Structure 1
Amino acid sequence: MTANRGWAAPGHADRYRERVLAERDRLAGALEDMGGQQQRVLADLLAFNAATEFGTRHGFDRIRDIDDFRKAVPVQDYAAHAPLIERTAAGEPNLLSADRPVVYFTSSGSTGAHKKIPVTPRFMRTTFFPFYYAAWAPLIENFPDVTHRPDAVLNLKHDPLAAPPTTADGQPHVGASQVDFGQKFGEPLSAELGTAAPWATLPVDVAPDDHLEKMYLRLRLAVQSDVRCLIGINPAMIAAVPYQLTLWWERIVKEVRDGTLGGVPHGSPDPHRAAELERLAEHFGGVSPAHVWPRIRALFCWTTGVASLYLPSLRERFGIGVAALPAPVAASEGPVGVPLDRHGSAGSLVVSASVYEFVDADADLTPDVGTLLPHELEAGREYHVLFSHVGGLYRYAVGDVVRVVDLVGGVPRVEYAGRANRSDAVGERLRESQVIRALRTALTSTGLGLVNVTCRVEQAPDGAAPRYLFAVAPHTPWQDAEVTRFAALLDAALQRESADYRRARTDHRLSAPALRLLDPQAFHRDWHQAVGSGIRPTQVKDRLFRQDDTLWQRLTGTPTS
């Protein structure tokens, strides 16, 4: 979301707060009639898009309820939608939606290929904006000082582009955080917290794809502000900040002292702040975000997945008592769940946004797979997510798995459990969430901590069956006995999590897992190398399954067999 100087206008913060809390209250009210809301969303998308090519092909005008809809439209992924999306992006109207897209969100899936997600004004009004505003309610309600000044929030995902890439029909093809919703959709209040900070629009020239330099310049400016909150969405971006402060510390302090930004004069020299920063680093024997910004109160990002293993210790780098508030369960294609309170990981299903269907996470997604409706879900179970909305995606398998944490008034609260892809070398069919829970069990049982972790399947020594090799960056050195015990506990936990893994171990199709310990900064260096190659930081995410030889070698620094 590009910068909006409205944040500096009198009364803007109050109007923003009112809008956010009102949308939260509306979504909460909608939960009281989940079934009715779902039927209304279905009726609206069918009526609005009945005359489109997709609607005509699938008989939208004859569909009356969800059962008709499931019979008429197969379960589909992006590849199935892609032919009509490409024709739309070439300028052809009325294919998926009666509304013309005015922007295409980019999204990198597990393959790394960039999708084109058509975004229409009708989709934004009915599906996106209500959830988008409501998502900020727990933050601004419980930490109101984040709205008091434009520079109170360091928004790491904010990355405006002066000349964004476009599709053949001339519309921007960018990340959601690169779109000016006020200009594109007439929503002047939609500019996120931190998008009017001094570093939001960089005052010096930098190449659009030089993301590391942009991150440096923003940190350089932010060390002179009283930052109270960091917004990252992707937790890997927040995890990189302590590393970046250390990596760039001498350059930052020198530029603060000299009054420069990227070597160019900017503002006034500030020798007092430079000296203060130097004293902090000397006193603590290094620097952490808590030293630079002692009044940080909250981090806003995904709190599940691999991040759940390292967030507790990461929060300590930002200060005692700092809260980690969960970002919504959502994708570029649309929302799934939004936290309406301070639950640490889960959000209520956004029942007024899309028609939702679910498939048991152990099942394979096929065009005719049977689906469950929201009221049929069970707490503690994991499911593939499908959604259909007025923007032109129908029974769309987004590729995410969610876990139902609980049911509140019959409405599921869900948390992100991982990507839908499995690791399946010999029939073990491991999901991300199963491996993460097994890792957490082993960490808890041993009292160990890690900075990050990934794994791959490799051939075991001496011609034994393949095994899982876990690359772990520990916080502090692990003793040999601890490594051995951790590996054994991890193996046992994986067997409890997955019957397929247990059978593979019992049948000797898999050997026992092994560990390779890396230094604590290994994942941060790897993340920086990926970002340095030109990938936007929002898209460089934690990877639990890292089978690619090149990526594995880059991380571990060792050849692969």
Structure 2
Amino acid sequence: MNSADQGAGPDRAARYTARVHAERAQLVSALDDLPGHQRHVLTDLLSFNAGTHYGTAHGFGRVRTLDEYRRAVPIQTYADLEPWIERSAAGEANVLTADRPAVFFTSSGSTGAHKKIPVTPRFMRTTFFPFYYAAWAPLLTHFPEVLQRPDAVLNLKHDPLSAPPTTSSGKPHVGASQVNFGDTFGEPLSAEPGTVDTAWAELPVPVDARDHLEKAYLRLRLAVTGDVRCVIGINPAMVAALPHQLRLWWPRIVKEIRDGTLGGHPHGSPDPLRAAELEALADRFGTVRPAHVWPRLRALFCWTTGLATLYLPRLREEFGAGVSVLPAPVAASEGPVAVALDRHGSAGSPVATACVYEFVDADDDLTPDAPTLTPQDLEAGRDYHVVFSHVGGLYRYAVGDVVRVVDRTGGVPRLAYAGRATRSDHAGERLRDAQVTRALAGALDAGGLELRNVATRVDTTDGTGRYVFAVSPAGSPWHDDETAAFGARLDEGLARESAGYRAARADGRLAAPTTLRLPADAFLRDWQDTVAGGVRPTQVKDRLFRQDPAQWERLVGRDAVAPGPPAREESL
């Protein structure tokens, strides 16, 4: 990926900023007539793909309204569409879409299997690029300096490949951050901040494409010599890993700067003065933080909801006082749901021109014939399953995410990612990510406690299931009495959030939860181990429910403090 391919040049920053603000303005304008744009998106996807195998099988040519579309197409998961997608990936034309996929985005689902998401030129123009550009508007509006220097942005998710894996028909099967949109879709300006004319955008020394930790090290080693103003991670677990990696690799980084090497290869000139400055930082503060290395850092760009709500306040301190955290879009490889068009800290507006959006109450089962709501029907303060359709070949697709309606502005709901749609249901409790996260937040706030991360599983060793919560405390250590009080409040919070949990506790089908205290870096070590095992960092996300025994044992290891007393054994 060279700079010419990505629309580089002396005026690139101005052209890029203008495009970002133009796309944002169009999305804002579209919200004035959200129902009308939703009808247009439906009409367009039906007419464009009416002649496909899928469109013919489902009578697209006869469908005119959303109600008719609902009757013609059931709500579907990836597994339902997989046979059609595999035909397309094998090279068959006109299966799901009228234009051929140019690439297949990879996405790891809840099973860890790599999906193949067809990505067509029409999808990119209609659905992807408008939200993709607009997402950067809050950053560029308030922190324009991030485009003024080639070393101002450390983009952790950028991971180009010279020889990407392919489908059986030879199409690239990669993550969105590994696609050269300039070459593939004729969109040379699309390279995002931190990926053009930046020393660490393309690594200048050889490294195995599968060695994700070494690639992360090399980028960090280069970035330490820069004047980073913004860190882009999208996945907040990647951002949380950065301070840990900085400390973990610090001796190697300083030595390589002193010696003028990169990954053991000659690179640049030896810089003993900068190495001495960095050593002095560590000596002065007793540790090293991103805030020490990059004192002008102003912004982080990542998802700000889900489990991240519990640890971002403390994590932000690692990057410096006054650093802003701007929310990445509510989106998946399959398509966008909402994008922040202002400075709201977590929520965004539906991308009215991109998809037909439908929603199902998150407490209901997401069955093929489940009744759905439109964006206009949503209520503030409630959680919903997301179902969307777009011209790229995904029809009434249940993406597997739950969103929460934060508020309404101009009659349009603003949506925040609340968690995955999967449930933990040992004894009828039907707990969702969002419910547990809210209960955790309440229990932490009531006790004045902080954590770095948390996971849970159901333990059945005593015959009655109980949730064990593994937590890595932040700030000062948790005392035993504080831990016990936290467990009791958490138990109460879960009962408030879930009628199923409340009933299971009252009937004795679930015992009171216990809390297992882990070292501060337990989740970070687990993250590093997963990446070292070959999983791309963008796909190693926070996971609340961890029922797999081997994964749980790797997380808790032998360093955990024994579980505190149960929250309380009486029924709720």
3-state SS in 2 of match to 1:398:
strand
Amino acid at match of 2:515: L
2:404 matches 1:399: no
In the TM superposition, what whole-angstrom CA distance separates every residue of 1:459-479 from its partner, at most 9, and x where no partner exists?
Answer: 254x4x210000000113110
In the TM superposition, what whole-angstrom CA distance separates every residue of 1:307-347 from its partner, at most 9, and x where no partner exists?
Answer: 11000000000000101100000010000000001100000
Amino acid at match of 2:219: R
Aligned to 2:53: 53
- Of the structure 1 ranges 194-203 and 25-34, higher mean CA displacement relative to structure 2 is found in 194-203
TM-score normalised to structure 2 length: 0.96
Aligned to 2:467: 468
Question: Superposition RMSD on alpha carbons, in Å?
Answer: 1.2
1:13 Cα deviation from its structure 2 partner? 0.1
1:4 Cα deviation from its structure 2 partner? 3.6
3-state SS in 1 of match to 2:472:
strand
Counterpart Cα distance in 1 of 2:306 and 2:385: 15
Aligned to 1:24: 24
In the TM superposition, what whole-angstrom CA distance separates every residue of 1:448-493 from its partner, at most 9, and x where no partner exists?
Answer: 11111000000254x4x21000000011311011011000011011
2:107 matches 1:107: yes
The count of residues paired between Structure 1 and Structure 2 equals: 557
Percent identity between matched residues is: 69
3-state SS in 1 of match to 2:452:
strand
Counterpart Cα distance in 2 of 1:509 and 1:263: 58
Contact 2:7 2:188 in 1 (8 A): no
Amino acid at match of 2:504: A
1:3 Cα deviation from its structure 2 partner? 6.0
Aligned to 1:496: 496
2:389 matches 1:388: yes
Amino acid at match of 2:82: A
Contact 2:182 2:188 in 1 (8 A): yes
TM-score normalised to structure 1 length: 0.98
2:23 matches 1:43: no
Amino acid at match of 1:94: N
3-state SS in 2 of match to 1:439:
helix
Contact 1:302 1:326 in 2 (8 A): yes
Counterpart Cα distance in 1 of 2:234 and 2:559: 33
Query: Pairwise mapping of residues 4-403 of structure 1 onto structure 2 (< 5 A)?
Result: 4=3, 9-196=9-196, 197-403=198-404
In the TM superposition, what whole-angstrom CA distance separates every residue of 1:505-524 from its partner, at most 9, and x where no partner exists?
Answer: 11111011001100001111
Counterpart Cα distance in 2 of 1:265 and 1:70: 61
3-state SS in 1 of match to 2:554:
helix
Aligned to 2:424: 423
Counterpart Cα distance in 2 of 1:458 and 1:538: 30
Aligned to 2:564: none
Amino acid at match of 1:103: V
Contact 1:359 1:370 in 2 (8 A): yes
Contact 2:451 2:473 in 1 (8 A): yes
1:21 Cα deviation from its structure 2 partner? 0.3
Q: Which runs of 5+ in 1 are unaligned?
A: none
Contact 2:518 2:559 in 1 (8 A): no
Alpha-carbon spacing, 1:202–1:559, altered in 2? closer, same or farther (3 Å): closer
Counterpart Cα distance in 2 of 1:365 and 1:14: 45
Counterpart Cα distance in 1 of 2:424 and 2:384: 17
Contact 2:85 2:116 in 1 (8 A): yes
Amino acid at match of 2:248: L
Query: Pairwise mapping of residues 524-543 of structure 1 onto structure 2 (< 5 A)?
Result: 524-543=524-543
Amino acid at match of 2:432: R
1:56 Cα deviation from its structure 2 partner? 0.5
3-state SS in 1 of match to 2:213:
helix
Counterpart Cα distance in 2 of 1:109 and 1:79: 11
Counterpart Cα distance in 2 of 1:120 and 1:531: 30
Aligned to 2:563: none
1:365 Cα deviation from its structure 2 partner? 1.1
Counterpart Cα distance in 1 of 2:297 and 2:461: 46
3-state SS in 2 of match to 1:98:
coil
